[in-house]
Amino acid sequence: MLGVEPTRSSVSNAALKRGAEIYPVPANAPVQISVIPWPNHVTVASRRPLPAGFAPQARSSEGEAAAKGFAALVDHLFAVEGIVRSEAEGAVPVILKDAAGFGPEAYRLSFDEDTLTVEASGRTGFLYGLVTLGQIWRGARLHPGVFQFPASGEIVDEPAMGWRGLHLDVARQFYGVAEVKKLLAVLAWNKLNRFHWHLSDDEAWRVEIDAYPALTEIGAWRGHGLAVPPLLGSSPTRTGGYYTKSVIREIVAHAKSFGIEIVPEIDMPGHCYAMQQAIPELRDPAEKGSYYSVQGFPDNCINPAREQTYEIVETILAELIELFPFKVIHLGADEVPLGAWSGSPAALARLRDVAGEAVADAHAKRLNVVTNRHGADDIHGSGAAILQAEFLERVQRFLASKGCITGGWEEAAHGDVIDKEKSYLCSWRNVEVSAELAERGYQMVVCPGQVYYLDMALRPDWDEPGASWAGNSDAEKLYKFDPLSGWTAAQKQKLLGIQACIWSEPMTDRAVFDRLVFPRISGLAETGWTKPSAKSWDRFKALAGLMPLLYGLQES
């Protein structure tokens, strides 16, 4: 009998690298203060003794809220450093002065021998001024021979882009409340202002819905013999989790205090395997045969030709809207297989009504045909695209009736049916697709997989963790990448901003999370905030080692 052993490479069998790559702070940095993302206007001079810490003094409710948020922020990230403390402990007062004429995230930070002042028009501007002050303080404290705490001058600052985001997939791997809260603190320290929370996928459903308790009773858990099998390193024993409504409200308020708005995503009509295990009525009971998603899930699309589908979806979304007051709801709409619903009599009948016999007959022939051997299907013009467009148009209309903006991945543009004034798209294939969609009138968040997908490996080496289907991208490549390359002035009018995406298939080890996400997330933050002419890789590399990690796990 032949023995069995793991597959081995003829080149290298080294263990996967773990922990973040940290750029050491050099003995001679290109700048005298440490701030990421780099501000728009910096004129500071001389050096003063490092304050023991800061005591923000607000003169308005907005300033008070910012001071409270900043205290919570540094307590999350640097609890024992004492950045915020009382004057009894030697803190220097920081005056938070209300001033007209600033944008919602803009601020002026002024230094003189006796007074530190942050001027802003609102809560987030005050918060970001304090974050800049805290970063300067930490640099001077941890590396006093390299950085200084200014005695005079000012920093006047505002972001280049309005949408500076991070997407986190919590379906493939579950992240607990403490992890999510600390991640939000890390985002705020980078002046990132959007958290795209990917709450459902084939692998799990993660949000409590009162009307359908089976969604979390069944869809939130994986294991041997369960409706959702063990996947992506999860144990054969029952594992998983979900976020209760009370926890979600707590996290939303927590994010708001850090200047972050949360965009929830319920991915549909595809990527719904877990959802269908919990609510079988989302599939046509007369459907025969099977189709498969690019990840290999069978029959994972909720049926757009059944009225019951819309009753269920609208009930779920109505509960979701109550939890997320930003009122931007992302519907996913990515990676619907070309053969989706090809065995559903209801779907084929609907296709005949809206597109004719020839289209319906052609779609029926895709039954039991594997259509995605080489990646996600291009469904443009197919029966699947027509049915998805009908679904999205109706659901987007419902969200608009509730005062909501609809988000979608770029595939939501199939058929050009959603209201472009009440929606936006996240483009993941490349910047050319982003520009083309902007040309067609869609508001765009740019997040190309080749660079801004943080599950992609840093480099193509055998021992680097992460995926490779979109290539690889280390921090330098991400930092120097131009997300608007080739865009016209008219297309740039449709730009909302940029976003990094964490898809969690490789994140079975939290040390791998730190390796893949940091310092790349800070590189994205600087691209979103700092004007292109003011960017400098050498400066960024000298400062990046001062930025916080989520788990604090460094390469050893």
pLDDT of residue 332: 98
Q: Does 503 share its domain with 356? A: yes
Q: What is the dihedral of CA 404, 407, 413, 419, to 10 degrees?
A: 20
4 within some domain: no
Instruction: For 472-490, give one letter per residue: b (16+ CB within 10 A) or e.
Output: bbbbebbbebebbeebeee
pLDDT digits (tens, 9 = 90+) for 386-413: 999 999 999 999 999 999 999 999 999 9
pLDDT of residue 373: 64
Amino acid at 206: R
pLDDT over 90 (residue 183): yes
Output the CA–CA distances (angstroms, integers) from residue 474 to 114, 238, 270, 461, in the order listed.
43, 35, 31, 12
331 within some domain: yes
Q: Does 418 share its domain with 466? A: yes
Q: Number of helices and strands (H, E) in the chain?
A: 17, 18
Angle between helices 61-78 and 123-142 (to 10 degrees): 40
pLDDT over 60 (residue 1): no
pLDDT class for 235, splitting at 50, 70, 90?
confident
Q: Does 455 share its domain with 538? A: no
pLDDT digits (tens, 9 = 90+) for 499-523: 999 999 999 999 999 999 999 999 9
pLDDT over 70 (residue 473): yes
Q: Whole-angstrom Cα distance, residue 346 to residue 306?
A: 7
Residue among 199, 231, 238, 237 nearest 217 (CA): 238
Residue of higher predicted confidence among 265 and 2: 265
User: Is there a contact between 539 and 31 (Cβ–Cβ < 8 Å)?
Assistant: yes
Q: What is the 3-state secondary structure (H, E, C) of 47-67?
A: CCCCCCCEEEEECCHHHHHHH
Q: Does 498 share its domain with 355? A: yes
User: Is there a contact between 216 and 208 (Cβ–Cβ < 8 Å)?
Assistant: yes
pLDDT class for 68, splitting at 50, 70, 90?
very high
User: Is there a contact between 194 and 184 (Cβ–Cβ < 8 Å)?
Assistant: no
pLDDT over 80 (residue 219): yes
Kindly state the average pLDDT of the residues 171-189. Answer: 98
Give the phi and the psi of residue 146 in degrees, each rounded to 5: -110, -45
Q: Does 382 share its domain with 496? A: yes
521 within some domain: no
Burial (CB count within 10 angstroms: exposed 0-12, middle 13-18, buried 19+), residue 38? buried
Q: Does 308 share its domain with 335? A: yes
Q: Whole-angstrom Cα distance, residue 54 to residue 132?
A: 13
In the predicted model, what is the mean pLDDT of the chain?
96
pLDDT of residue 266: 98
pLDDT digits (tens, 9 = 90+) for 293-324: 999 999 999 999 999 999 999 999 999 999 99
Q: Does 230 share its domain with 128? A: no
- Indicate yes or no: pTM above 0.75: yes
pLDDT class for 215, splitting at 50, 70, 90?
very high
Q: Is the peptide bond before 37 cis (omega within 30 degrees of 0)?
A: yes
pLDDT of residue 556: 82
pLDDT of residue 384: 96
Q: Does 343 share its domain with 481? A: yes
pLDDT over 80 (residue 57): yes
Q: Does 324 share its domain with 473? A: yes
> Among all residues, which ones are annotated catalytic?
335
Q: What percent of the chain has pLDDT over 70?
A: 99
Q: How far apart, in Å, do the first and last CA atoms of the chain sit?
A: 41
439 within some domain: yes
State how many domains the chain has: 2
pLDDT digits (tens, 9 = 90+) for 270-286: 999 999 999 999 999 99
Q: Does 144 share its domain with 196? A: no
Q: Whole-angstrom Cα distance, residue 169 to residue 124?
A: 26
Q: Whole-angstrom Cα distance, residue 164 to residue 129?
A: 17
Please give the DSSP secondary-structure letter assigned to residue 488: -
Q: Does 440 share its domain with 368? A: yes
pLDDT digits (tens, 9 = 90+) for 343-366: 999 999 999 999 999 999 999 999
- CATH number at 151 reads 3.30.379.10
317 within some domain: yes
246 within some domain: yes
Q: What is the 3-state secondary structure (H, E, C) of 313-382?
A: HHHHHHHHHHHCCCCEEEEECCCCCCCCCCCCHHHHHHHHHHHCHHHHHHHHCCCCCCCCCCCCCCCCCC
Tokens 């719904």, residue located: 272
- CATH number at 487 reads 3.20.20.80
464 within some domain: yes
Kindly state the average pLDDT of the residues 13-39. Answer: 96
Three-class secondary structure of residue 291 per DSSP: coil
Residue among 389, 265, 391 nearest 324 (CA): 265
pLDDT over 70 (residue 480): yes
Report the phi/psi class of residue 79: left, alpha or beta, with left for phi > 0 and alpha for psi in -120 to 50: alpha
Range of the domain at 491: 163-510
433 within some domain: yes
pLDDT digits (tens, 9 = 90+) for 70-124: 999 999 999 999 999 999 999 999 999 999 999 999 999 999 988 899 999 999 9
Q: Does 452 share its domain with 309? A: yes
